[in-house]
């Protein structure tokens, strides 16, 4: 248990930031999951809109410092590769 006022403040701040980070990380993961599901179901129009939303969410999370920019770039690259493979068939 924290004893000093500054330690107690750090606990409050880190809890608030963790909640904020969890929100943006979860939102990005949900969009990525929805995109992958749409591609698996071969619903390309839905996949296209979900892909745009996933890319936006990943960029937003990276911009806010929730995930590393390279992590976002890697995930976007893999999603695009999956989507492009599904559309060329």
Going from the first residue of the chain to its last (89 residues), give the mean pLDDT of each consecutive group of 10, the final group possibly shorter: 92 96 97 97 95 97 97 98 92
Alpha helix (H) ranges present in the chain?
5-40, 44-63, 69-88
21: domain range?
5-88
- State the total domains in the chain: 1
Question: CB within 8 A of 76, min separation 6: which ones?
Answer: 54, 55, 58, 59
Query: Domain of 65: which CATH number?
Result: 1.20.58.110
pTM of the model: 0.87
Q: Tell me, what's the pLDDT at 50? A: 97
């Amino acid at each position: 248990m924290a004893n000093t006022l500054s330690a107690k403040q750090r606990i409050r701040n880190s809890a608030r930031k963790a909640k904020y980070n969890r929100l943006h990380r979860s939102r990005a993961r949900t969009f990525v999951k929805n995109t992958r599901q749409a591609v698996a179901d071969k619903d390309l129009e839905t996949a296209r809109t979900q892909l745009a939303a996933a890319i936006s969410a990943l960029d937003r999370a990276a911009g806010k410092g929730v995930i590393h920019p390279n992590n976002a770039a890697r995930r976007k690259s893999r999603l695009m590769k999956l989507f492009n493979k599904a559309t060329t068939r």
